[in-house]
Amino acid sequence: MSPSFYVIVQLNTAAWLLMAFCLAQEVNPAPGHQTSPETNKQESRRQEIRDLPAEWLIGPYVPNAGPLQPLTNRERASIYVHQTFLNVGTYAARMFTAGIQQARGVPREWGGGMRGYGRRFGSDYGQFVIANSLQSAGNAALGYEARYDVCRCGGFWPRTRHAIARNFLTYTRTERERRPAIPLYVGSLGAGMISSVWLPGHRNPWKEGAYSALIQAGLGSGVNWASEFAIEILRKITDNRHPKEK
């Protein structure tokens, strides 16, 4: 595997560990200590966040003990909204890729500082929204599975192979047969081509599309790997308190 894949895996894992550390910080008041209503209210809000299911972190997924069942159109719409807008992992991945671009100084026309970082993050997130929209439409048309399914196998390497394979293969509507994840890469290709409209300088749409598909091959594998192990890591760190079971 290329060094970039391991970098992506490490960055994603760092994000999960950081969030797990935040979840694990539960400070209990000393015996007899009186807490104010405002403190109680803040603690209640933190508890509500900690009690959220794992979807808020890694997006909709199929647990290793859960059944693989064909999705309805309503379920697909809900999955699309959660994958695109309502999970932390989506934003964390874009923050990291924007940070890498910032460190490399690309595109150089956007400069540095928070203004440059904001442009890079907005561009990356915009590409993701377009890619996921095209992918979701393609999955719905072909009846392909839209969620990541946690491996029903055991062991580090079998699960790693599963995570990487699921970035290139997906289930059909039978939920047993697997086919190449064509909508995933068509979405990435299309998003990269469309991004040439707002990226600075003269851009070749086909080149941008191919680059976006290549990034998906690496970033998608890294995200799948982090998703495969994130729940267990979080439960280990938080003594099985969080995240909650589906």
The answer to whether 83 and 60 have CB atoms below 8 angstroms apart is yes
- Which pLDDT does position 5 carry in this prediction? 44
Determine the Cα angle at 1 with ends 146 and 130, to 5°.
35
Burial of 100 (0-12, 13-18, 19+ CB in 10 A): middle
Residue type, 104: R
- Which pLDDT does position 68 carry in this prediction? 84
Determine if the pTM surpasses 0.75: yes
Instruction: Walk along the chain (246 residues) and give the pLDDT tens digit of each residue.
Output: 444 444 444 555 555 455 555 544 444 444 555 556 666 655 555 544 444 567 777 889 888 887 888 999 999 999 999 999 998 889 998 999 999 999 999 999 999 999 999 999 999 999 999 999 999 999 999 999 999 999 999 999 999 999 999 999 999 998 889 999 999 999 999 999 999 999 999 999 999 999 999 999 998 999 999 999 988 888 787 776 666 655
Tokens representing 31 are 């015996």
Per-residue b/e over 9-42, b at no fewer than 16 CB within 10 Å? bebbbebbeebbeebeeeeeeeeeeeeeeeeeee
What residue segments make up the domains of the chain, in order of their start?
Answer: 3-20+62-237
If one counts every other C-beta atom within 10 angstroms of the C-beta of residue 223, the result is 24
- Which pLDDT does position 58 carry in this prediction? 84
- Which pLDDT does position 245 carry in this prediction? 57
- Which pLDDT does position 232 carry in this prediction? 86
